[in-house]
Amino acid sequence: MSQPQLPLGKPNAIWRSEYPFESHSMNVSPNVRLHYVDEGPRESKNTILAVHGNPTWSFYYRSIIGKFRDSHRVVAIDHVGCGGSDKPASYDYCLAQHTRNLVRLIDTLELTDVTMVVHDWGGAIGLGAAVERQSCIKNILVLNTGAFPPPYIPLRIAACRWPWIGSFAMRYFNAFAWTATFMAIDRLPRLSPQAKAGLLAPYDSPAHRIAIDRFVQDIPMKPTHRTYQVLEQLENRLPELANKRIHFVWGMKDWCFRPECMERMAKAWPNATRRELADVGHYVMEEAPNEVCEELAKLLS
């Protein structure tokens, strides 16, 4: 169903001019609503499906939505707990559940000939959905991400997992989302006030930061962690997508998803192509929206 206005912040917030898109939602459980953007011609058989990570939301893909909505259907999801989606205190915030939600969105909207764009946790979620709905997927644009059990965890991420202290800092001081606005960039000296406000808008209280915390807690540090097994199975299935057109656009200055993550996924996709952005950090869409849109246009053609 549609909603007249995104239920976030003030109507005149400075970021809204960069996100002039209609809100849509669907229920993923009786009491949990998932928000998404659905722009462009519904009859188009060429759909762009953008899948964000942590701690972003569909706002992160505003450049793609604005650039391609005149010619393509563009769908951008907000995972439960993120963006305009519900943020329940009691919910199974885990990779497997987020993947099921995305599969449900693909099925509900009857998306076909999909060009999927993935970033950060959106890589594991999006690629997990792609292997389950392979007939719906045509192309994949891969931004800095991973789809395997983590071979390392950066200290800055590991610190957020410290018992009690890490969660308290993320929930009550917005330590994860706020610090990402300057730690996830390299080319830019700083984000614009509009970009920073937009990225942080959904996460304006401790209750609204629950998914940020749970995403961090869902990073498996041991094989006994339930998400370790999910990621292990996903990596084993990545070669099933090798017949798709796959293109990497990678920020080479990313301290979180370093270039070795791209190389590891590329082993499963021997025909994948790439564009390396030497001076770009983790927030590729914030630092290099023009380059990403250029590469996406090529992939679509």
Tokens of 76: 């951008």
Strand partners of residue 114: 47, 137
Give the sheet arrangement for strand 2-3, strand by strand: 2-3, 23-29, 32-39, 73-77, 47-51, 114-120, 137-145, 245-251, 273-277
At residue 6, the pLDDT reads 60
Which bin fits 120, alpha (ψ -120 to 50), beta or left (φ > 0)? Answer: left
Sign of CA dihedral 27, 28, 33, 35: negative
From the CB of residue 208, how many other CB atoms can be counted at a distance below 10 Å?
17
Alpha-carbon distance of 269 to 253, in angstroms, equals 23
At residue 1, the pLDDT reads 39
Is 231 a member of any domain?
A: yes
AA letter at 167: S
Alpha-carbon distance of 136 to 18, in angstroms, equals 30
Is 17 a member of any domain?
A: no
Is 21 a member of any domain?
A: no
Is 19 a member of any domain?
A: no
* 145, 120 contact by CB (below 8 A): yes
Closest CA to 69 of 16, 115, 21, 126: 21
* 124, 233 contact by CB (below 8 A): no
Helix (H, G, I), strand (E, B) or coil at 285: helix
Is 16 a member of any domain?
A: no
From the CB of residue 293, how many other CB atoms can be counted at a distance below 10 Å?
17
Closest CA to 54 of 246, 217, 194: 217
Tokens of 1: 């169903």
Closest CA to 57 of 81, 33, 78: 78
Domain that holds residue 118: 2-8+26-300
Could you say which residues of the chain have pLDDT below 70?
Answer: 1-7
Is 40 a member of any domain?
A: yes
CATH at 240: 3.40.50.1820
At residue 7, the pLDDT reads 61
Q: Any idea which residue has 């006030």 for tokens?
A: 193
Is 225 a member of any domain?
A: yes
At residue 158, the pLDDT reads 83
Is 13 a member of any domain?
A: no
At residue 5, the pLDDT reads 47
For the chain, how many structural domains are there in total? 1
At residue 2, the pLDDT reads 41
At residue 45, the pLDDT reads 76
